[in-house]
């Protein structure tokens, strides 16, 4: 990357409009990229203050910085990146600009479509925004990922009930669909998801037990083994219930792979302490909706008005470590 390219991208990240105006005056191309394929829009997403970030995104779009540019590590466009960061306002601006040009079937480096990625974030406003744009352009939400799972099957597998409900009721996802490789139904994927989560918890516990042994913490080892060998974590596929406490947490905005129903699990043990919650209570600055796109005769506007919704973003519980949540005596 040339020195001048680096200065352009740094000016975008630092919101240095005078410097950018100087580049424009000298007819310098602002649509430059780093070696890994990131252009100015990726750098604009780094801006922390939401109002400044939105202004810079608009500036980039107005000056022909490619909103469909893909970086090389994850095969992300700026829209993918905004979804990963759960910047709802940035998602709104990018959708308004390139909603009709999105390749909905394209996979990222993890084999996911952009809708699969959004479902995994478990962020209701973002998924609703994508679905409304897809409906507007007549795009089906039943698009498979690399493994043959549609977003609805993925949401069912991960026990993200809000996501499954939205996909079925607003995206008109088929409830009878099966994946082409295993031919599992949504109900069967739901059970498989519980089993997968059970194994995930047991593996994390096994790691903590090994660490406690290395540190010579006998009391901790005993308590962890008590949980590890409990009937809850020894369940087989046949005995798993859909309302099992091993079901993944479904609070909006929580990655299911990083949280477990620890409080209920600890209650099963007489010596267990009720753990305190480790939460991140940061809220998005603004929530947007796309109801104006429901009309098939109405064109997509460049910018869509922000509104305030009644939906509260509940705190995102994070699994810092199992030992923190268990509060096992050292």
- Is residue 98 within 8 A of residue 79, CB to CB? The reply is yes
Give the residue from 151, 155, 149, 157 showing the smallest Cα distance to 134. 151
With b for 16 or more beta-carbon neighbours within 10 A and e for fewer, the 310-321 pattern comes to eeebebbbebee
DSSP annotation of 291 reads G
Tell me: the pLDDT tens digits for 305-328? 333 333 333 333 333 333 344 444
Give the integer Cα–Cα distance in Å for 224 and 148.
Answer: 37
Q: What string of H, E and C letters represents the secondary structure of 195-224?
A: HHHHHHHHHHHHHHHHHHHHHCCHHHHHHH
Tell me: the pLDDT tens digits for 24-57? 999 999 999 999 999 999 999 999 999 999 999 9
Going from the C-alpha of 81 to that of each of 77, 88, 175, 252, the distances in angstroms are: 6, 11, 29, 19
What is the domain partition of the chain in residue ranges?
188-277+317-326
Give the residue from 67, 75, 70, 141 showing the smallest Cα distance to 111. 75
Give the integer Cα–Cα distance in Å for 204 and 201.
Answer: 5
Give the integer Cα–Cα distance in Å for 200 and 42.
Answer: 33
Please, what is the average pLDDT of the chain? 75
- Is residue 182 within 8 A of residue 146, CB to CB? The reply is no
Tell me: the pLDDT tens digits for 111-152? 999 999 999 999 999 999 999 999 999 999 999 999 889 999
Going from the C-alpha of 95 to that of each of 100, 201, 312, the distances in angstroms are: 8, 37, 23
Claim: this prediction has a pTM higher than 0.75: no
- Range with the poorest average pLDDT among 91-95, 155-159, 238-242: 238-242
Tell me: the pLDDT tens digits for 259-277? 444 334 434 443 333 333 3
């Amino acid at each position: 990357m040339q020195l001048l390219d680096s200065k352009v991208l740094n000016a975008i990240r630092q919101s240095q409009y005078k410097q950018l105006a100087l580049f424009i005056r000298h007819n310098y191309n602002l649509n430059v990229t780093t070696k890994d394929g990131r252009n100015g829009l990726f750098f604009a997403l780094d801006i922390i203050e939401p109002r400044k970030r939105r202004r810079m995104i608009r500036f980039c779009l107005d000056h022909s910085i490619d909103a469909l540019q893909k970086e090389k590590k994850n095969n992300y466009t700026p829209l993918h990146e905004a979804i990963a960061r759960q910047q709802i306002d940035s998602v709104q601006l990018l959708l308004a600009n390139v909603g009709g040009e999105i390749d909905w079937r394209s996979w990222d480096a993890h084999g996911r479509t952009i809708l699969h990625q959004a479902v995994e974030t478990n962020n209701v406003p973002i998924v609703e925004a994508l679905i409304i744009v897809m409906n507007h352009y007549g795009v089906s939400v039943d698009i498979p990922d690399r493994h043959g799972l549609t977003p609805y099957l993925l949401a069912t597998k991960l026990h993200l009930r809000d996501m499954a409900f939205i996909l079925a009721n607003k995206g008109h996802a088929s409830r009878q669909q099966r994946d082409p490789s295993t031919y599992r139904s949504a109900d069967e994927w739901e059970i498989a998801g519980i089993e997968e989560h059970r194994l995930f918890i047991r593996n994390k516990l096994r790691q903590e037990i090994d660490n406690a042994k290395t540190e010579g913490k006998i009391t901790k080892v005993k308590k962890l083994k008590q949980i590890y060998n409990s009937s809850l974590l020894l369940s087989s596929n046949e005995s798993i219930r859909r309302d099992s406490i091993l079901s993944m947490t479904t609070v909006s905005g929580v990655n299911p792979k990083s949280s477990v129903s620890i409080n209920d699990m600890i209650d099963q043990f007489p010596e267990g302490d009720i753990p305190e919650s480790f939460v991140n209570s940061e809220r998005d600055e603004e929530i947007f909706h796309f109801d104006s796109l429901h009309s098939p005769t109405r064109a997509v506007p460049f910018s869509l008005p922000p509104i305030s919704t009644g939906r509260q973003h509940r705190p995102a519980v994070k699994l810092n470590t199992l030992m923190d949540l268990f509060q096992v005596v050292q």
